[in-house]
């Protein structure tokens, strides 16, 4: 049997329930566009989220918290995720679910603390002496092993780097050859080599090598300008949690460079409070010196009613520390008991925490909005549906829930395929809605037929 010849036929694309969301879809003046970036309706909540994004960008929101409340399936998670999409990959966004804090091994507050620190970024700017350019040659030079034997060892490596201004041939140490191999550098790549540490970084493929039909996910970069040997500002984004992990068993001094140099060596040891304080101290010092800049990100706690009183008290305190991210909470609960107590309070959140929150409400969708959301979902999943069928599905949605009808799309399309149809029609919708029950109707049937069930 030849395994190489067997090709996987599964589609590589996976479709998650929020995959259609690309951003908040706001105009430049902050008003919500009707349908954009995968979102539609819920204008007030989206505009409020837009203001939050602006505050985060201008760094005015650190240590503040936001609560999204609304009935199930009204887009709380969707809008929170689109805030992350708006902020882009450079701002840390750490999503978690309230129930994640319960573990038999780690303290609840420890998990919260870890996620807090995942949500705080640090941008470090350093000017370094580098050689940078497009690689035109890599030739390792070999000599016979000086320790005897028949093998050969690399004694040095010749690397030629080209920029728009000129070309330079470098003879480098064998340790740098190892770094080059680790980064999988080939001729035609743009790289830089740090002069002091010998670290090699592959920036991307030179765009002189870009072809029209490149199937690989390659990043093409222009050939660097200026000299090969120069001073370059290198920006690195890390989170406080990265620094904690990297220094969990400190080696060497606690100056900034050694803090950073630990990052590439993953180890799993306990992070102590003392270590965190020490890291904070070093980080604060470097922020004062202008070498590093704090990038407060977002900690998103979904289903926040799952937290208990201990966690809420901790949140209260953590929000007041000077290294705090923006915290976004979401819940669909009304008046209920706070976990770990027998007190009742709105959303299951203690009133003293509620007092510190800005609250955004999400409202149930109208028929028209459900039609639009279903349309967007069908398009993302690559499913065709007749207009009439879409309207009918949306009507079912007003009776049941948005989530339920979003879930009906896939079985309906499977049924349509089985019948050899290209588009979902009302027939399939009728058939599917008679086959599957939503939560409400199932509960109603339970009530009517209670005597047949064991309870």
Ligand X SMILES: Nc1ncnc2c1ncn2[C@@H]1O[C@H](COP(=O)(O)OP(=O)(O)OP(=O)(O)O)[C@@H](O)[C@H]1O
Contact 302, 274 (CB under 8 A): no
What string marks each residue from 401 to 440 as x (binds ligand X by CB under 6 A) or -?
-xx--x----------------------------------
The answer to whether the beta carbons of residues 96 and 33 sit under 8 Å apart is no
**What is the spatial distance between Cα 316 and Cα 334, in angstroms, rounded to a whole number?**
21
Q: How far is the CB of 361 from Mg ion (least distance, A)?
A: 14
End-to-end distance of the chain based on CA atoms, in angstroms? 55
Token reading at 340: 């770990």
Number of residue whose CB is nearest Mg ion: 77
Q: How far is the CB of 232 from Mg ion (least distance, A)?
A: 44
Residue from the set 39, 65, 315, 370 that interacts with ligand X by CB under 6 A? 39
Does 400 help bind Mg ion (rule: CB under 5 A)?
no
The strand pair at 65-69 and 326-331 is best described as: parallel
Quote the tokens at residue 223: 């050939």
Task: Tell me how far, at minimum, the Cβ of 302 lies from ligand X, in Å.
Answer: 7
Distance CA 93, CA 325 (A): 10
**Residue 18 interacting partner from Mg ion, ligand X, none (CB closer than 5 to 8 Å by kind):** ligand X
If the CB atoms of residues 205 and 347 are measured against Mg ion, the closer one turns out to be: 347
What residues contact residue 92 under an 8 Å CB cut-off, 6+ apart? 118, 119, 120, 121, 239, 295, 297, 298, 325
> Of 312-371, which residues contact ligand X (CB under 6 A)?
332, 362
CA 407, 408, 414, 415: dihedral to nearest 10 degrees? 170
Site for Mg ion in 75-94 (CB under 5 A): 77
- Positive or negative torsion for Cα 196, 199, 204, 207: positive
In 3D, which of 40, 61, 43 has the Cα closest to residue 52?
A: 61
178: tokens are: 């190892």
How many beta carbons lie within 10 A of that of residue 176, not counting itself? 19
Partner whose footprint covers residue 332, from Mg ion, ligand X, none (CB < 5 to 8 Å by kind):
ligand X
Q: CA 335 to CA 349: how far, in whole Å?
A: 9
Rounded-to-integer distance, Cα 428 and Cα 446, Å: 26
- 179 is a contact residue toward Mg ion (CB under 5 A): no
Short-list 378, 327, 365, 377, CA closest to 52: 327
Between 177 and 365, whose beta carbon lies closer to Mg ion?
365
67, 78, 259, 378: which one binds ligand X (CB under 6 A): 78
> β-pairing, 344-346 with 335-337?
antiparallel
> For residues 241 and 305, which CB has a smaller minimum distance to Mg ion in the complex?
305
With the CA atoms of 76, 77, 78 and 79 taken in that order, what torsion angle do they form, in degrees rounded to the nearest 10? Answer: 50
Q: Does 247 bind ligand X (CB under 6 A)?
A: no
User: Near ligand X by CB under 6 A, which window of 17-25, 123-131, 221-229, 247-255?
Assistant: 17-25
Q: 402 touches which of Mg ion, ligand X, none (CB within 5 to 8 A by kind)?
A: ligand X
Smallest distance, ligand X to C-beta of residue 339, A: 17
Which part of the chain contacts ligand X (CB under 6 A), choosing from 34-42, 131-139, 221-229, 289-297? 34-42
Smaller CB separation from ligand X, 56 or 402: 402
Stretch that binds ligand X, among 137-145, 153-161, 250-258, 398-406 (CB under 6 A): 398-406
Those residues whose C-beta lies under 8 Å from the C-beta of residue 305, and which sit 6 or more positions away, are: 98, 331, 333, 336, 339, 347, 348, 349
| Largest Cα–Cα separation, the chain | 89
Minimum distance from residue 258 beta carbon to Mg ion (Å): 42
- Decide if residue 41 touches ligand X (CB under 6 A): yes
Stretch that binds ligand X, among 65-73, 259-267, 433-441, 446-454 (CB under 6 A): 65-73
Instruction: Assess 82 for contact with ligand X (CB under 6 A).
Output: no
Name which of Mg ion, ligand X, none residue 40 binds, using a CB cut-off of 5 to 8 Å depending on partner kind: ligand X
Q: How far is the CB of 79 from ligand X (least distance, A)?
A: 7
Beta strands in 287-332 (DSSP E): 292-296, 298-302, 326-331
**Shortest separation between residue 21's beta carbon and Mg ion, angstroms:** 12
Q: 373 touches which of Mg ion, ligand X, none (CB within 5 to 8 A by kind)?
A: ligand X
* Residue 199 touches which member of Mg ion, ligand X, none, C-beta under 5-8 Å by kind: none
Applying CB under 6 A, which residues contact ligand X? 17-18, 21, 38-42, 70, 72-78, 332, 362, 373, 376, 402-403, 406
């Amino acid at each position: 049997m030849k395994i190489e010849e067997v090709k996987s036929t599964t589609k590589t694309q996976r479709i998650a329930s929020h995959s259609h969301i690309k951003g908040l879809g706001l105009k430049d003046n902050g008003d919500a566009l009707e349908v954009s970036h995968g979102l539609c309706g819920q204008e007030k909540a989206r505009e409020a989220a837009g203001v939050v994004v602006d505050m985060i960008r201008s760094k005015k929101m650190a240590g503040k918290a936001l609560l999204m409340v609304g009935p199930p399936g009204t887009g709380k998670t969707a809008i929170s995720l689109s805030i992350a999409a708006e902020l882009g990959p450079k701002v840390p966004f750490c999503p978690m679910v309230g129930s994640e804090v319960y573990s038999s091994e780690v303290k609840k507050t420890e998990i919260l603390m870890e996620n807090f620190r995942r949500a705080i970024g640090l941008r470090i700017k350093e000017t370094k002496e580098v050689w940078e350019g497009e690689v035109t040659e890599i030739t390792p030079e070999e000599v016979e092993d000086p320790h005897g034997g028949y093998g050969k060892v690399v004694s040095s490596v010749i690397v030629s780097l080209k920029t728009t201004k000129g070309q330079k041939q470098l003879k480098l140490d064998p340790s740098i050859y190892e770094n080059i191999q680790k980064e999988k550098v080939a001729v035609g790549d743009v790289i830089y080599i740090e002069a002091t540490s010998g670290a090699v970084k592959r920036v991307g493929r030179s765009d002189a090598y870009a072809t029209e039909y490149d199937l690989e996910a390659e990043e093409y970069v222009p050939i660097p300008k200026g000299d090969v040997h120069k001073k370059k500002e290198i920006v690195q984004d890390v989170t406080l949690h990265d620094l904690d992990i990297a220094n969990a068993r400190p080696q060497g001094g606690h100056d900034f460079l050694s803090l950073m140099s630990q990052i590439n060596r993953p180890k799993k040891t306990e992070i102590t409070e003392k270590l965190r304080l020490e890291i904070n101290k070093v980080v604060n010092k470097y922020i004062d010196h202008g070498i590093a800049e704090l990038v407060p990100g977002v900690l998103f706690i979904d289903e926040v009613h799952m937290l208990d009183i201990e966690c809420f008290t901790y949140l209260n305190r953590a929000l007041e520390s000077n290294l705090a991210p923006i915290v976004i909470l979401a819940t669909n609960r009304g008046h209920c008991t706070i976990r770990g107590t027998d007190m009742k309070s709105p959303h299951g959140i203690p009133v003293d925490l509620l007092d510190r929150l800005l609250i955004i409400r999400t409202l149930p969708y109208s028929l028209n909005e459900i039609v639009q959301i279903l349309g967007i979902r069908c398009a993302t999943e690559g499913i065709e549906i007749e207009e009439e069928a879409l309207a009918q599905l949306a009507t079912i949605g007003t009776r049941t829930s948005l989530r339920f009808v979003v879930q009906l799309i896939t079985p309906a399309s499977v049924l349509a395929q089985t019948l050899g149809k290209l588009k979902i029609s009302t027939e399939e919708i009728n058939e599917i809605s008679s086959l599957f029950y939503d939560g409400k109707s199932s509960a109603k049937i339970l009530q009517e037929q209670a005597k047949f069930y064991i309870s």
